[in-house]
Structure 1
């Protein structure tokens, strides 16, 4: 299903297809990508969410997990954007990479990605649907003759609670002696905007892939819930549904729990962004901003008044490092601010 709008290369030109399924027009009969592994008939019930009820089924399940784990690691990448680190998954031979919106942060960012074999490639962030935390990156470096290793696309529409799954990521960044980290779990809850699993995830896994037991991509890691074994993933069908907008580099929506905050107050009527209050232990306080400071630039944005400062902050993501230019007692100063997360969002 994931392919009604993906981009195909035809005659050297980028052409928008009708969806992610266009990548694999005959996907149900012969899935493309290197991660698909057909399952033995002994696992029919297990693939439908049942627990193994015999030693033979348990051994078949273990063997299937091992094969899938070996394959899915090859298309999982570590993603570095500025100071932020996360994971991603390559889904086309020409280098489109799915990740989380809060990892990609904003369109047009330069990304450094590390492949499973340690090769580093450069890319550019494209569109983001912040409503569900879906982001897209394109590898800019020339693809090898055989293409980039890419995952087999699945669909989240048929995923049900109890479905066995394989979570992959590079927590803490790429480590050559460790490689991608594999976790096995099951889907606990299926919602329209998220899949909830008990796969144990930690920081740096965000943006990494979630596969079913046949090696088909069914989701992308979004965020940890109340526990490391209570995690939310973006259903893969959301990338399909909004592929054209993502590939065009559009940015829209706001992810609950990810509203940016720097912790300052100012006068709306001022023609300058004069800071009146700096919250205790806020990101602004940690950066060294004081009451009376006048914010001149927030990242690449020139600040004309407090409203424009609010707009510039709203366009960032928690965890993003932003250079601030301010004026204090007639002297211009530069400092780095780490955007915080609004606890009330």
Structure 2
């Protein structure tokens, strides 16, 4: 039997009669000389089949393969497995079907696997294999996509056209202008952030003025002040204008560098406050806050003219409250006792009379004094982070009295105290018919508290008394001959 094709078993019921095969010469048919079987018997092995004798059952049939075998997928020619993928020209295939006997039907079953021609792989075959394991993105209409991109580019160019420099047509590559930063504030100047030091300065600077004082004795002084109403009244320190109290001049320089002459309305050496007035002043007035509501650690801003430098802004915090401070450099100058706000905002000579404000641009104090290092010579004093401001709650009451009457009053108990005694306020003298005399205080009594506030020195006692108003009742604790006593008295008043 030839190896070119495998015959199938014909179906006798359906086989059609065919014409007898022509006799082939022996030289042409290698099977012609083989022995023939007897009629009706089985064919001898290797003997040819004739048209009158059909093949025995199973002869020429393709044997069945065991389950799980891969023989059906392997080629029998050349020993090469067809499971190996090949590309290029097709391999030689087996010849077509040739009947082994006359009338043999065409096979109805095809081999389980027939190698087929495969085209050469594309250049990006590996990328295609990788993409086959990923989901394919949805297809987008290219026309719609291109139109959307064009519209986006046109919109961006149109929006940025006003702020972008165009490259010159003559070939000079000029730099493109930088886009402005977004606004950070909501005020007139968008560069100013609300609640910042810049915002406070922008609000307060137009209301702060510089004072240049010429005394009758040719003494000079400079300081600061701020407008408190629409009548041109300016609040400042007494020690700034004191030299002009008995003659001289006071010049006011506004933030827009306009100069005007001011008149002295009144002053209070006891609180180190004074009020001057400029007719027709156009500077805006400040907004008052509450010094009592100030807390230690809150941010504050100081504005003034330190060393003659007008419009100077510094910032810091409230370092302490109710700090007893005494001002007055020599015996010829009246001493002032204030319960001050302490701040580390830089305050220098010339800041006196300027406002100390919170971050809402509300005045809570008047910058009045600084602490200096012991032994510092003249010209060496300056800010060491210890500045003091008069609380605005007290300053407003005093300013109202000065504007109304030209003078101010302060509370007293009608007794003098020893300024050198430590451990309380020791009474050194009692004024007849004074509140102290009516309460039964005597010389030698040591006052240790006022309204439950401890008193450990004469300065602390005076400052504590001046935080009240004339006519208020206060409770004093004192010691006499080693025994503790208490008494309630009504404060008197004194002009000054």
TM-score (norm 1): 0.50
Is structure 2 residue 321 aligned with structure 1 residue 190? yes
The one of 276, 293, 303 equivalent to 1:158 is 293
Q: CA deviation at 1:171?
A: 1.6
Check 1:236–1:150 CA distance in 2 against 1; reply closer, same or farther (3 A cut).
same
1:73-88 aligned within 5 A:
73-82=205-214, 83-88=220-225
1: CA distance, partners of 2:266 / 2:339 = 18
Q: Which has the higher contact order (CA 8 A, sep 6+)?
A: 1
Q: Which residue of 1 aligns with 2:488?
A: none
Is structure 2 residue 260 aligned with structure 1 residue 125? no
The one of 283, 287, 303 equivalent to 1:168 is 303
1:69 partner SS: helix
1: CA distance, partners of 2:200 / 2:300 = 10
Q: CA deviation at 1:63?
A: 5.7
2: CA distance, partners of 1:200 / 1:181 = 10
1:300-339 aligned within 5 A:
none
Is structure 2 residue 358 aligned with structure 1 residue 217? no
For the 8 Å contact 2:195–2:360, the answer to whether it is kept is no
TM-score (norm 2): 0.36
Q: Which residue of 2 aligns with 1:259?
A: none
Is structure 2 residue 280 aligned with structure 1 residue 142? yes
Q: CA deviation at 1:162?
A: 0.9
1: CA distance, partners of 2:303 / 2:246 = 26
For the 8 Å contact 1:156–1:237, the answer to whether it is kept is yes
For the 8 Å contact 2:353–2:367, the answer to whether it is kept is yes
2: CA distance, partners of 1:142 / 1:62 = 31
2: CA distance, partners of 1:235 / 1:84 = 23
For the 8 Å contact 1:132–1:194, the answer to whether it is kept is no
RMSD: 2.8
How many pairs align?
Answer: 190
1: CA distance, partners of 2:236 / 2:400 = 16
1:20-99 aligned within 5 A:
64-82=196-214, 83-99=220-236
Is structure 2 residue 241 aligned with structure 1 residue 104? yes
For the 8 Å contact 2:274–2:399, the answer to whether it is kept is no
Q: CA deviation at 1:215?
A: 0.2
2: CA distance, partners of 1:142 / 1:164 = 34
In the alignment, structure 1 segments of 5+ residues that lack a partner are 1-38, 41-59, 254-345
1: CA distance, partners of 2:270 / 2:299 = 26
Range with bigger deviation, 95-104 or 123-132: 123-132
1: CA distance, partners of 2:266 / 2:287 = 21
1: CA distance, partners of 2:307 / 2:399 = 29
1: CA distance, partners of 2:350 / 2:280 = 26
Give the greater-gyration-radius structure (CA). 2
2:202 partner SS: helix
1:82-123 CA-partner distances (Å, limit 9, x unpaired): 111111111112211111111121657631000000000111
1:253-292 aligned within 5 A:
none
Q: CA deviation at 1:169?
A: 0.6
2:307 partner SS: coil
For the 8 Å contact 1:219–1:236, the answer to whether it is kept is yes
Q: CA deviation at 1:251?
A: 6.2
Q: Which residue of 1 aligns with 2:372?
A: 226
